[in-house]
Amino acid sequence: MENSLPSIPAKRYFTIGEVGELCGVKPHVLRYWEQEFTQLRPIKRRGNRRYYQHHEVLMIRRIRDLLYEQGFTISGARNKMQELAQAQKGLKKDVAESNGLDPELLDEFDDAVEQSEGRQIYELTLESAQRATPLQVTSSLPSLRRELMDIRDLLSI
């Protein structure tokens, strides 16, 4: 069934209506899932409007698949999502250690990002981090700075 869902456009933020269309669920279901799945936390702006990011759309599709396609209960899907998060954290730790990075620093970084208002703005993929050369990292800093300034402006509204 997931094959019949539309592709996710290359946008930074999606409204609840857009996410509903992209994931095949109604907005009231998305609001309910926010209460049931703590990992699902869209940014809220003026008038409590929700803005979802790409990774949250993917998460909603995963939740939808667990509930509608695989037949999980809400509780079972919640547990499965927590298991997936733990597995991902373990994989990240293994990759960090194999690349000579301190996994505790990565955990502190993750905690700081989650606690900030603009949490999870960027999902760092280990694959792209491994492929990046110092020159690529340095050349991307100006655009990263601009994006962070945009985010700061969004949060100050």
Reported as a single tens digit per residue, the pLDDT across 50-106 is 999 999 999 999 999 999 999 999 999 999 999 888 888 787 777 777 777 776 766
> Is 35 part of a structural domain of the chain?
yes
CATH number at residue 101: 1.10.1660.10
Q: 133 falls in which pLDDT band (50, 70, 90)?
A: low
Domain count, the chain: 1
Q: What DSSP string describes 38-73?
A: TT---EEEGGGEEEE-HHHHHHHHHHHIIIIIS---
Partners of 43 in the β-ladder: 51
Q: Which residue has better confidence, 96 or 149? A: 149
> Is 44 part of a structural domain of the chain?
yes
Q: What pTM did the predictor assign?
A: 0.61
The C-alpha angle 128, 131, 133, rounded to 5 degrees, equals 115
Residue 143 pLDDT greater than 50, yes or no: yes
Domain range for 16 is 2-125
> Is 154 part of a structural domain of the chain?
no
Q: How much is the pLDDT for 121?
A: 39
> Is 80 part of a structural domain of the chain?
yes
Q: How much is the pLDDT for 155?
A: 77
Partners of 15 in the β-ladder: 51
> Is 130 part of a structural domain of the chain?
no
Q: How much is the pLDDT for 114?
A: 52
Q: Residue 154: how many CB atoms within 10 A of its CB? A: 16
